[in-house]
Amino acid sequence: MSETYSKLMKYLDKSTALETALVLFQWDSETLAPEKSMELTAKSIGILSSEYYNSLINEDVKSLLAKLGEEKEQEQLDFNQKAIVKKLRKTYEEMEHIPPEEYQAYQELIAKAPGIWTKAKQEHNYPVFAPYLEEIMDYNKKFAGYRVKEGQNLYDVLLNDYEEGFNTKQLDEFFGKVKSAIVPLLKEVVKKNDRIKKEFNYQSFDTEKQKQFCSFISQYVGFDLSKGVIAESAHPFTTKLHNQDVRITNHFFEDNLESAIFSVIHETGHALYEMNVDSAITLSPVGTGASMGMHESQSRFFENIVGRSKSFWIPIFSKLKDTFPEQLKDITLDSFIKGINKSVPNLIRTDADELTYSLHIIIRYEIEKMIFAGEAKITELPDIWNQKYKEYLGVVPPSDSEGILQDIHWACGNIGYFPSYAIGSAIAAQIYYHMVSIMPFCQYLEEGNLAPIREYLKEHIHKYGATKNTNEILMDMMNEPLNPDYYVRYLTEKYTKLYEFCTVKSSKKK
Amino acid sequence: MSETYSKLMKYLDKSTALETALVLFQWDSETLAPEKSMELTAKSIGILSSEYYNSLINEDVKSLLAKLGEEKEQEQLDFNQKAIVKKLRKTYEEMEHIPPEEYQAYQELIAKAPGIWTKAKQEHNYPVFAPYLEEIMDYNKKFAGYRVKEGQNLYDVLLNDYEEGFNTKQLDEFFGKVKSAIVPLLKEVVKKNDRIKKEFNYQSFDTEKQKQFCSFISQYVGFDLSKGVIAESAHPFTTKLHNQDVRITNHFFEDNLESAIFSVIHETGHALYEMNVDSAITLSPVGTGASMGMHESQSRFFENIVGRSKSFWIPIFSKLKDTFPEQLKDITLDSFIKGINKSVPNLIRTDADELTYSLHIIIRYEIEKMIFAGEAKITELPDIWNQKYKEYLGVVPPSDSEGILQDIHWACGNIGYFPSYAIGSAIAAQIYYHMVSIMPFCQYLEEGNLAPIREYLKEHIHKYGATKNTNEILMDMMNEPLNPDYYVRYLTEKYTKLYEFCTVKSSKKK
């Protein structure tokens, strides 16, 4: 190993250890820690966070990274080491230009803002949150300004943090295509909406039984309990200490059957990605998904393309009926599949179906762009939001709590993050058309044999972690970068044909 | 605040943050982490442990501690700060004389030894473990040798680590009194053993119902779920992040009712101590119990003196009967109380009743002393163990797994630790006689009003954390240091009268 690289390793190992501790604190606070714990625990978390920052941002690391950029050093690095150095340099560049006192003030702001947001949302009181939102946006503009490149716009700097190589120009084209296809399609779908019955989903379902079924289906999809944990939290999420310890959560509602089932399949998709990252890189800065969008592609692939297909349910629908024999006694597989795919425009992103989901994202993307371009004042956002919901989805929030205050993301400082959700859906569709062209995809599902599907994803996506970026992965896998046409095709095929059939069709069968 | 002290605070805050993270990792690994997690997680734990060591043991801290020893610095410190400096100096002195390479080698040894011990115990194969035990004992002798004082013996150095101010001379006297009282008493008790029926305890008890009852009884004793968590693990234990986050575990056996109940009361006793430590010191080196023995006094006080008394069960026995109406339908409160207090000499310390418990401890204490005095070879320990069990308890282990291999403590390097268990029992009895002399103790229990009892313990013991040592606490509370006579009196009264009555009698009643 290069001597310079092994010096760098010392810092990396320390930062990984601290990051692992911070992940565990976060997990614990969302799943288990008692109500009154956080005030004191936050003090330790603050100290460890600052140790983490200092372990990466310091003069030693700076000069090691500079040295590792030299040609004769590069020659000594293998593929993974190069990727680690590259990723570290990116993190370094994101952080080093921010003056420490501004970083500290911003950290305090985004530690406080989610509490204010929660209060504002509870009280339907946007003006309480607006000054914080303005400050958060201003900091993000300022921070982006420190590292914006010639000819780049500020918002692109943030987009690039979440999706390397993506910018407004591409996303405008991407969302333009999606919007022009979905908005009219949705209008057609909505007209026929009441043909699909979904009442079965809203009966009373014992949550202990839901829990057992969700544990079963997560393992059926591929979750390995010897390397993972399933717990509960207010909002489902996935996290990991490393590839041998991947954790997901779920939530249960007695009056909604599909919520927990599709949440756990979604999180299992994320979890498979993390469990399959190569062991050589798991405890390193590239030991996670390639990007937010790539990660979301895996969760959505399993949740929607696999999980909402008829083929997937053929081997296991009887198990669900056995779990809830009374509630589902008159429900056929076909009526179940139609029910879980029913599209109804609504106000809440996290409750959205596949067809309307991207419209929720487009609205947020357009608003973020307007803010960064100085085309919208913070005080005007509620009206802009409501107007766009009316135009794209045909619904209007009764209050700002269902409108501009809907998501926690901005309060946490996640700006430029929403587009990744839509990119994920688009990647999932593209992967799907690729996979049905090379393997008997449906047949595997119908046989309850998900291993070849998982194995393919592992070999072409998961194992690389973040050593390759999104487009590199897609190019290596199918010789084509992200192409939104597949996503449009998928939604159009699925939702124009929904009332005739709802299965995943493979173009080839062995 | 003294300038020197505030410099020290920076190191203390860092070490507290790292220690909190290590506690959380430990908690997680024993309650939740998946089976395959530990190999990789251990790497992060190792790095954080070494950061912890370095945050306390370094030249800066050394010179700050030296400076804080000067008179004009001492004058600027308040009571808590003085205690923190004293505790830190003790930790420092325990560690600083050990050469880092020996410390490292020893840490590796005691990381490995519990695995070897587990294997040896499973396979009834002491010779596999013996060389490790020898090495651990040799290291402990060597480490004690680095800091032994003039006229002190090596074993006293270790005893003093767990119980400040205690030594072999005192303990010999203490255990001598206990042994000479208990061994003959036990012989009498055993003769009448079969008069007490305990079959009711070994029926089938739904573990979910046990869990609910244990959660109830823990809160009844005082556990506050807004500042704590109850979970499950192989062996029950208590841990804490700070006084707002105290965690206990329990274990459940379908065929044993009392095991989980008295485990949870025991751990709740530990938890109350930690929850009541003053907030001013909770995130500091003195933010925990005064000593192992003092801690154990609180768990045993609640488990045995409170929890096994008739008065305690008067208000809640009907709730237990309602939980298991079939199994307990013919059991009266009196027969229940007799059953849970039945004394039967057995081989396993953790299953021992109140009367025989100390005999298990005495055996371990005598063996540790012999090893340190060079009076026993490691290879001879199984025979010595078995001979002592025969003599004191009248039972002989069928194999070394129930004998010399019974406890994990030595494999973890905890030498000189066992006596604290007995000291804890003795302190509990002493506190009991003190409390019945100053408050209507039984009446409170019979009224289900435990608050005044908790409050008294909080004000005289808990809130001080480790700012005072065991004897200082006892002296301030009742003007008398540890006195084993109370313990002997307690056991004698309880077990000579057991077949007539079993309630806690208060000497005063309002």
Residue with tokens 């009448």: B192
Q: Which long-range contacts (CB under 8 A, 24 or more apart) does A360-367 make?
A: A360/A393, A361/A175, A361/A418, A361/A419, A361/A421, A361/A422, A362/A175, A362/A178, A362/A179, A362/A392, A362/A422, A363/A388, A363/A389, A363/A392, A364/A407, A364/A418, A365/A171, A365/A175, A365/A418, A365/A419, A365/A422
CA dist., res. A199 & res. A196, Å (int): 9
Contacts for A380 with CB less than 8 Å, ≥ 6 apart: none
pTM score of the predicted model: 0.91
A212 touches chain B (CB under 8 A): no
Exposed e or buried b for every residue in B200-232, given b needs 16+ CB within 10 A?
bbeeebeeeebbebbeebbebbbbbeebbbbee
Look at chain B and count its residues: 510
Q: Count CA atoms closer than 13 A to B202's CA, side-chain side.
A: 4
Is the CB of residue A311 less than 8 Å away from at least one CB of chain B? no
Q: Are B76 and B5 in contact (CB under 8 A)?
A: yes
- Measuring CA to CA, which residue among A264, A295, A301 is closest to residue A420? A295
* Both tokens assigned to B352: 């021992």
Q: Which of A19, A164, A267, A296 is catalytic?
A: A267
Name the residue among B49, B88, B48 with its Cα closest to residue B65: B88
List Cα–Cα distances, B351 to A87, A114, B259, B262, B364, in angstroms: 55, 49, 9, 11, 16
Strands A245-250 and A228-232: parallel
Cα–Cα distance list, B64 to A299, A307, B71, B73 (Å): 53, 62, 14, 10
Structure tokens belonging to residue A209: 């039984």
In B12-71, the residues whose Cβ lies within 8 Å of chain A are: 13-14, 16-18, 20-21, 24-25, 28, 32-37, 39-41, 43-45, 47-48, 51
CB-CB: which of B17, B43, B45 is closest to A283? Answer: B43
Is B254 an active-site residue?
no
Residue B61: helix, strand or coil by DSSP? helix
B344-402 per-position pLDDT tens digit: 999 999 889 999 999 999 999 999 999 999 999 999 999 999 999 999 999 999 999 99
Residue of A nearest to B281 (CA): A40
**H-helix segments, B148-202:** 154-162, 168-191
User: Does residue A280 belong to the interface with chain B, where contact is any CB pair within 8 Å?
Assistant: no
Task: Annotate A306-337 with b (16+ C-beta within 10 A) or e (fewer).
Answer: bbbbbbbbbeebeebbebbeebbeebebeebb
- Selecting from B25, B225, B283 the residue whose C-beta is nearest the C-beta of A34 gives B225
Hey, are the CB atoms on A21 and B47 less than 8 Å from each other? no
**CA dist B340 → A485, B304, B337, B354 (Å):** 73, 10, 5, 10
Among A135, A49, A29, A147, residue whose Cα is nearest residue A98: A147
Place of tokens 């019979």: B446
How far is residue B250 CA from its own chain's centroid? Answer: 15
A 226-245: CB under 8 A from B: 226-229, 231, 241-245
| CB atoms closer than 10 angstroms to residue A496 | 12
Comparing CB atoms, the residue among A13, A35, A282 nearest residue B47 is A13
Report how far residue A4's alpha carbon sits from residue A382's, in angstroms, rounded to the nearest whole number. 53
pLDDT digits (tens, 9 = 90+) for B157-215: 999 989 988 899 999 999 999 999 998 999 888 888 888 999 999 999 999 999 999 99
Q: What is the pLDDT along chain A (510 residues), one digit of tens a residue?
A: 789 999 999 999 999 999 999 999 999 988 999 989 988 998 999 899 989 989 998 999 999 999 999 999 999 999 999 999 999 998 888 888 888 788 888 988 888 898 899 899 999 999 999 999 999 999 999 999 999 998 899 999 999 989 988 899 999 999 999 999 998 999 888 888 888 999 999 999 999 999 999 999 999 999 999 999 999 998 899 999 999 999 999 999 999 999 999 999 999 999 999 999 999 999 999 999 999 999 999 999 999 999 999 999 999 999 999 999 999 999 999 999 999 999 999 999 988 999 999 999 999 999 999 999 999 999 999 999 999 999 999 999 999 999 999 999 999 999 999 999 999 999 999 999 999 999 999 999 999 999 999 999 999 999 999 999 999 999 999 999 999 999 999 999 999 876 554 444 444 433
Instruction: Look at A44 and B245 and tell me if their CB atoms are within 8 Å.
Output: no
CATH number of the domain at A168-501, out of 3.30.70.270, 3.40.50.10470, 1.10.1370.30, 3.40.190.10? 1.10.1370.30
Cα B246 from Cα B218, distance rounded (Å): 13
Alpha helices in A373-418 (DSSP H): 381-393
Q: List the domain boundaries for chain B.
A: 3-147, 168-501
In Å, how far is B50's CA from the nearest CA of chain A?
A: 10
CB-based contact A35 B226, cutoff 8 Å: yes
Which residue of the set B163, B164, B258, B267 is catalytic?
B267
How many other C-beta atoms are found inside a 10 Å radius of the C-beta of residue B50? 17
Q: How far is it, in rounded angstroms, from Cα A213 to Cα A217?
A: 6
Which portions of chain B are predicted below pLDDT 50?
501-510
- Residue pair A56/A88 in contact (Cβ under 8 Å)? The answer is yes
What ipTM was predicted for this assembly? 0.90
Give the pLDDT of residue B450: 98
Token readout for A197 is 């019955």
Each residue's pLDDT tens digit, B70-101: 999 999 999 999 999 999 998 888 888 888 78
